[in-house]
Structure 1
């Protein structure tokens, strides 16, 4: 490269104790800025590729930001138009004042290789960020004055590395309309090849698939319900159905991209892994989960249980039952699973949202913290391009109404949950509430009214027993409405209701 004919700022101070200089190329920064001021069309092309923080020399970062400001207002960015913005800049004064801007344009070297310089500036900024992450990791590992938690330090380092890797991703996320159209056509083709109704990951329930078209990549789905409604059971059923469909499709020789099943990561903040496994085994063997827990099974039942366990030992359903998980730790663990399983994790389930933390920041405002968690879940879905199904509690306001069917306003500590979610589902079982209203059981000698009241209740119970509703209260991709399902409480299994 030709020697530049203008003064180059002194290097920014290195970190104290550093054995060597940080990666940088101040001359490339200067040459590129000069080229941007000479040719503003070049500036428009480069402004979206970099950020001021990518420049090693702080003054160059400020000049870059000033050029961006002028161009965003459709003004020329030249040494003359930039000068008033730097009259009081101390860094500029040290180099002779605003005349430094004219010096940047004194060499045409940057015009030839400006795009290459931009890439080098970005790459060097990435290396400096890696150095910073590494030094921070070393400093934390050496500091034993606070509570030692190596695993938390590893997760924090992974999160920082992911931020470095994700930096600059905006350029790659810009797609032409032709690219977007191709993706849309492929999605429609996938739905057609699956037999219709299904363009995303299957829920395993035809009635739900028909309503929502499957669980779409990059979507955040909120499944909410009052305690006892079976939201964890439904989430477990869906996770199992997606994982078992993946296993079946792979056995049949389908390519992973053609499968409507998925490998599933299930984060259970409330139940342990063995409790979830018991539910799935109960569902598949047809043996009551209560009987399994208490050992009230026969030899024949145990044989069925062993057979179901053998069939499911290769099920691609991975359970993390760590309690009190933060949103950043969740990101880290999902990415770790993706790496381990060849980026084939196709569904993430979180049970449940209110048990997560926003990252140990000690926020006093719980609504604000829940909002941060919901945004983090949506970001996870978009960054990894997988559907995320997060369970949520509902407020007690439901119990105060005559009609106990949930509404969007019932989302507990809702904050931005409703806004962040692509779909909001409510699970509702009327038989749960009818059963709680059972009148006094009649006995010999009671009056006719007691018998009539109980008979009326029994008729109501027979009408609703074993039925459940999935209320689709919000859906970006289609209409809202409800789906009727069957629910077997002995094995906590949801299934399609005939005639849906």
Structure 2
């Protein structure tokens, strides 16, 4: 079917792009980010644009004379149509002022050709005889995502280019006006100093036993990051979006969550609720509360959110609730390992930080010391391997009453509402413990310094 039609192209726009460069060489800076040589349909236009880019990279002027010399130097002048074609390009270009518009037309037709090629490759995948439908869908999705982003596959890069990118990122951190790829802050100074913020492409795992507050801390971090300007997505597999919104409101308005849920609020509370809703409604935060979904669906939704609104931080609550691809009798450990690898892959593909909550095994409660360890991550050792950062929440007051604490640790103050955040793994930095104060009635964690200030 595709062979019957000519592939989409706009030769007039292609000629106008190169003609604009010959009229005004400085216009290259306006269009260089919009198109690449391979976006041109006609080979001679592709050769001319590539030569113009070479001239620009060497800080040389771009005009008919210099372009002809550059094409001659690479033995391509005749293939590009010679001096007569360069003169033709100038004569058919109305003005160089519209170079960006011409470039966008070229980019559009290039995208359509890429889409046709993607459809062809997807059809080949569709005809393959395979039992792994999810893997097939992921392949097709990757092809389409490459069309949307213009970055089909990662390949080898020279070390020089990697260091150039590193220096650009350092400059962005030093100059907030340039910052677009900087780490997200958790909102807790001690934790941010230890981690250096939440880094893009990282998978951060927050593990705890039930009722320790892992969902609360994850959402607190999400709100803090959003208030700092990050775009945040939340996959809430355990709670509905209404429940989650109410918990966020209780924490922000600092109203007892039980009273808020029952509607037992005072007139002063009503004003705080209104003010808080006004603040929270402006945050770039998006919630998906679909209860049963697998990595294919989550990956697609995250990509769509990234393309439509941008995405910096993705919260997953929690990892063990993500559906695997296996049937009932399949190995759950193997499924969780695959889910963990997929979450890490998603962090890299979208250049975001993925913070996922994780359950811990019952072994924590059976030990004399209840402090979590990396081996306590439930269902898979792969989580520990894939994660860039692993943090645990540990609260002694969940295991001892005040009387039991006196017998267990005489002379030491009872750690009421004190939560130890144990950074047990930090791939690119130190590990340590920090303390936060858990306001259980408000469903929020605060820094110890903030609590002592009140």
TM-score after normalising by structure 1: 0.60
**Residue number among 252, 255, 263 corresponding to 1:295 in the alignment:** 263
Change (3 A) 1:279 1:132: same
Instruction: Number of aligned residue pairs: give it.
Output: 336
The answer to whether structure 1 residue 354 and structure 2 residue 320 are counterparts is yes
Alpha-carbon offset, residue 174 of structure 1: 2.8
Match of 1:310 in 2: 278
Change (3 A) 1:124 1:303: closer
Change (3 A) 1:173 1:346: farther
Alpha-carbon offset, residue 460 of structure 1: 7.5
Alpha-carbon offset, residue 176 of structure 1: 2.1
Change (3 A) 1:309 1:186: same
Match of 1:140 in 2: none
Deviations 1:363-392 (A, max 9, x none): 610000000100100110010010000110
Alpha-carbon offset, residue 214 of structure 1: 0.6
Distance 1:461 1:281 in 2: 35
Distance 1:301 1:459 in 2: 41
Alpha-carbon offset, residue 422 of structure 1: 0.8
TM-score after normalising by structure 2: 0.66
Distance 2:174 2:327 in 1: 47
Task: State the structure with more CA Rg.
Answer: 1
Distance 2:114 2:424 in 1: 44
Q: Give 3-state SS (helix, strand or coil) of 1:463's partner.
A: coil
Which ranges of structure 2 fall in alignment gaps of 5 or more residues? 6-78, 80-112
Distance 2:127 2:267 in 1: 60
Q: Give 3-state SS (helix, strand or coil) of 2:349's partner.
A: helix
Report 1:314-325 matches (<5 A). 314-325=282-293
Change (3 A) 1:428 1:124: same
Q: Give 3-state SS (helix, strand or coil) of 1:218's partner.
A: coil
Alpha-carbon offset, residue 21 of structure 1: 6.3
Q: Give 3-state SS (helix, strand or coil) of 2:250's partner.
A: helix
Q: CA-atom RMSD, angstroms?
A: 3.5
The answer to whether structure 1 residue 129 and structure 2 residue 121 are counterparts is yes
Alpha-carbon offset, residue 456 of structure 1: 6.2
Contact persistence 2:173–2:182 (CA under 8 A): yes
The answer to whether structure 1 residue 231 and structure 2 residue 214 are counterparts is yes
**Residue number among 191, 200, 209 corresponding to 1:208 in the alignment:** 191
Distance 2:186 2:374 in 1: 22
Change (3 A) 1:459 1:486: farther
Match of 1:429 in 2: 395
Change (3 A) 1:161 1:189: same
Deviations 1:66-125 (A, max 9, x none): xxxxxxxxxxxxxxxxxxxxxxxxxxxxxxxxxxxxxxxxxxxxxx9xxxxxxxx99986
The answer to whether structure 1 residue 332 and structure 2 residue 324 are counterparts is no
Change (3 A) 1:317 1:193: same
Report 1:333-482 matches (<5 A). 333-341=301-309, 344-359=310-325, 364-435=330-401, 463-482=414-433
Match of 1:218 in 2: 201
Alpha-carbon offset, residue 158 of structure 1: 8.5
Change (3 A) 1:471 1:293: same
Distance 1:286 1:370 in 2: 37
Report 1:50-129 matches (<5 A). 126-129=118-121
Which ranges of structure 1 fall in alignment gaps of 5 or more residues? 1-18, 24-111, 113-120, 137-152, 247-261, 440-452
Q: Give 3-state SS (helix, strand or coil) of 2:385's partner.
A: helix
Match of 1:486 in 2: 437
Change (3 A) 1:230 1:364: same
Q: Give 3-state SS (helix, strand or coil) of 2:163's partner.
A: helix
Distance 1:170 1:363 in 2: 36
